[in-house]
Structure formats: C-alpha cells, structure tokens
Amino acid sequence: MKPVVVVHEPLHLTGETLTLFAWRIPDLVAYQHRDDEYWFAPLDDDLPLVRLNQTGVEMLRAMNGHTTVGALLEQYGEKICGPDGQPGQWHLARWATPNYSLCYYGAEPPGGHRHQAKWDTLLQQIREGWSGQDGFEGEDHLEDFHRHTLTEPHEDDSHFDMVETTVSHLFREPSAALGGLTYGRLLMRQLRRLGWFSPKPKIILEIGGGLGYVAREMGKELLPFERQSMTYISLDITAPFLKLQTTRAKEGGWGGLGTQADAEALPFADQSVDLVIDNENMADMTPVKLSKQELLSGTGTTAQHQEALDWIRRVRLPIEGELQDDVIFNLGPIRFVAELWRVLKPGGHAFLTEFGIDNGWPEPVKLPGHTEYEVQYSHLRQVARWLGFQERYLSLPQFLGIKPDTKVLCTGAAYTIQRFCRMINLPFVVRAYTEQELQQALGDILPKLHGCHYHDVADPAWFNLFDFKVLLLEKPGGRPRAQFTENNGYRWYSQK
C-alpha cells in the first residue's frame, strides 16, 4: 500500500501572503507536449500533472525571488494559464503547498544557493508537510510500517522508485558510473578483492534485500561452480519484499531460501553464518528517544530505554557536549551488530552500509509514510570493537571506487520524467543515468524535455552519496590466510 499523503488545502491569497516573495523550485523539469502545452509534475504523484500554456510558464518564470505573490496575482490572477482552463489564481493558491512543491513563498529566501545544498531546509519542510508528522514517530513505528503497512504484493519497482530510493536501487542496472557494472556485481568484486571469498563462505545471509536485485546480481557475478556449496539466505521483515528477493535470488543462480524475521533478533544458531550483506536497513531499525534525565541518571523509563542506557554505560559511549532535552539513540542497529557477533562464525564477515553521521546524535529523515533515522557510526563502531570485531570504515563511493566527478541525471528529474513517460505510455525506470544512458532510454522524447540536468555523483545535491558509509566487520579467529603479493600475474607467497 502506498503511504497516505496529507492533502493540503489551497492557500488563501489575502493579507500577509500577498507581501511574500515567490521562488520557483530550482531545476524544475518540463515536458513540451504541444507547441503551447508544457507539463510539470507536482511532488505528490497522486495529483495530476500541471499543464501550462505560455502564460502559465511566464508566471512560473516570474517566481524569481523578486516578485511578490500580490504582484503575480495582479498580473496573472485572471488569466487562463493552461489547457485545463484554470486561471493564475488557482495555481498561485496551490503551487507552494507541500503536495505541489513547485515554488516557495517567504519573506526570506528558503536558504540560499542550491549548490550549498541550502534548499535542504525547504525540502525538509516539504517532507514534514508530506508525512503530516513532526519529529519522533515512536519506537514501534518502523516495525509497524514494514509489517503492517507494506502488505500488498510488490510486482513493480514503484515503492523503491518513489518512497525509499536506495543507492543499490539507483544502480540496479549496468551503469557507466560503476564501470559498466550493477551495484550487486561491483559489490561482489569488491568483497572478493577483500579476500572474503577465499575460502568460499558457505552460508551467506542478506538482510533486508528490498526487491532482490543485489541477490540476483551478486549471484550472476559468480560462475555456477563457484556458487556450488554456497547457500544464500534472504531475511526480511516485510513479507512481500521477501517473496521478490527469493525469486530474484533464483534468477541469480542461488537456491532461493528466505525467512521473514527481524534483524534485531536473528533466527540463527550461534556461529552459523559466514558472510552477512546489509544494504541500507539500519536507518529502519528501532530508534529510542532518551530524555536528558535518563541519560544523566542512567535509569530508563521503559525496558527498551534501560536496554539503550545499559549499552551506553557498558560501551562507555560519550554523552557529548551540552545535552538537549532529548536525543535519539540507534538501539536497533546496536542490537543488530550484537546479533552479528553471535551468529557469525570465527573468521566470518559482515558488510554494512547506510547513511549516517560521525558526531552528535541521529536526526530523523522524513520519507513518505515513515521516518528513518541517521546511523551514528562512532557509537556503532565503538560497540563493534567492544564486542570484539575488527572493523574498517569508509564512505560508500570510496568502497565502490566511483569517480566523484561522474555526471548523473538529477534523481528528482528522473522521478519527474517517469511521470511524464507514464502519461505517454513509454516505459522509463528511475535509476542513475549518465547523459548517454538517458539518450538511449528516451530517444526522440529527450529534446521535448526542458531542464534535464546532471550532477557530479559526489555532489550532495545528487543523492548525498558521501553520507553513505560502509562498515566492514571481521570476527577474529578464522583460519590464517596465505599471505601473497601479486606481480605480473605471479603470486609470491610469504613464508610467515
């Protein structure tokens, strides 16, 4: 089920609103359907496309931060702005609401220049309005969302296209940005380079595999004889996703085993798993909100809060700086890492990636229908070391070896183009496109699109890729590996 979006009433174009300045959202993409008909996509995809004529486009252009709502109303209020017949007034009352998000009205600019990512402030406001929820949404909210909201079969990619797009989803097809590979294939290559496939892992466990593309692509990267004697298990809390994961794992040559469970309590025996893959799930795991009083006294008001406080004390996590009235703590990810320590065999490995921070306390990240929480990596790493793991930590682009100046289509533009293509019955998937890949996907349609723009893959305005971190864990105690260096195809083994 698609999460419900709060519908915002049109604005009253009276009083103080008339004195506000109007800014159109930067980088809007338009489709020119006819000579005098341009399409724009409201942020809420349940709303029909906005169809404008030259007058409507002129009004949008006039929203340059120097024109007031009152002046726009005076000039365009009565004029018909598009083939649907609505006058400027109708549009002015709607475009600045979160459901449309085509512009912003304010006394001050929404935050400054786009390249300093200050439009983030505006986008955060939009998201808050979109979900209709402020701040913390409760400790059971995420489990409830996955178990009880996402219950319908997911036959297509729409949930990950629209609701929670992930890096592996954007790179599920071969991409020039990844040297012509998919995310799953490149991940497999990097894990091999780390030596994690010699000796071969017998039991591989993927946690929260979404639509199953990583399982499929990792499998394809191996030869059939290499997959022999390996078992790939998909584990997910969301039943419809799990079904897709096992189907796609089979397409990748795996057996297709799956289990519905919560990664915070893994249904596996101690020391039974060789390798764990976890892409972008930890922000979905249980957050707790601890009060200043609880942090200072070390006594929790609920069993769950006490569990969090016990971790903080046991691992000696610093309670940094001046304390706010309350803070978010990543209890779920910590439970998960403790479970990894239990289920991994000596010498076993885990690859974990998620967006996150190194200092301070996690902030909520609003998505349609649910809220996720940044992972506080200095806390998580301290827990991992305390458990006994050897850990390595780097950014996801570094781990994948992505060239930071590779140019890719703005993700917002990809969502918008998908909406236009749906209207003209042209298949188009949301993913990371280089210019050439977009040309191949759209052909004759491309010249009719205005405002298509590309970002460096490292630009925060693209997908904040450098906020995604990789934590590599190794449980000590495996068989010692032969040490060698490679030169011109020859391996020189050390005598140590």
Residues making contact with ligand SAM (CB under 6 A):
146, 160, 164, 166, 168-169, 207-210, 236-238, 241, 262-264, 279-281, 284-285
CB of 83 to ligand SAM, least distance (A): 39
Q: How far apart are CA 83 and CA 58, in angstroms?
A: 15
Q: Which one, 72 or 285, has the nearer CB to ligand SAM? A: 285
Q: Which is nearer to ligand SAM, 166 or 330 (CB)?
A: 166
Pairing of strands 288-291, 326-329: antiparallel
Given a contact cutoff of 8 angstroms between Cβ atoms, the answer to whether 332 and 282 are in contact is: yes
CB of 279 to ligand SAM, least distance (A): 4
Shortest Cβ 221–ligand SAM spacing (Å): 16
Smallest distance, Å, CB 261 to ligand SAM?
7
CB 30 within 8 A of CB 451: yes
The least distance separating ligand SAM from the CB of residue 449, rounded to whole angstroms, comes to 27
**209 vs 252, beta carbon nearer ligand SAM:** 209
- Name the minimum Å distance from CB 214 to ligand SAM: 6
* Rounded Cα distance, 297 and 407, in Å: 51
Provide the token pair at 56.
């409507």
Q: Work out how close the CB of 340 gets to ligand SAM at its nearest, in angstroms, rounded to a whole number.
A: 13
Burial annotation 376-399 (CB, 10 A radius, 16+ → b, else e):
bbebbbbbbebbebebebebbbeb
Residue nearest to ligand SAM (CB): 208
Nearer to ligand SAM, 130 or 241 (CB): 241
Whose Cβ is closer to ligand SAM: residue 166's or residue 416's? 166
- The smaller minimum CB distance to ligand SAM, of residues 81 and 283, is found at 283
Q: Helical H runs in 154-283?
A: 158, 167-170, 183-193, 213-220, 224-227, 239-251
Tokens read off for 58: 């002129």
Mind giving me the DSSP string for 104-122? EEESS-SSS-GGGTTHHHH
Q: CA nearest 52: which of 29, 82, 25? A: 82
Distance of CA 489 to the CA centre of its chain: 40
Nearer to ligand SAM, 67 or 272 (CB): 272
Q: How far is the CB of 283 from ligand SAM (least distance, A)?
A: 7
Give every CB contact of residue 264 below 8 A, 6+ residues apart in sequence.
285, 286, 332, 335, 336, 339
The residue (of 2 and 79) whose beta carbon lies closer to ligand SAM is 2
Beta-bridged to residue 328, according to DSSP, are: 289
Q: Residue 137 or residue 164: which is nearer to ligand SAM going by CB? A: 164
Tell me which residue of 90, 108, 110 sits closest to 25, measured CA to CA.
Answer: 110
The CB-of-186 to ligand SAM minimum distance in angstroms stands at 13
What is the number of residues in the chain?
496
Calpha distance 205→257 (Å, rounded): 10
Residue 432 identity: A
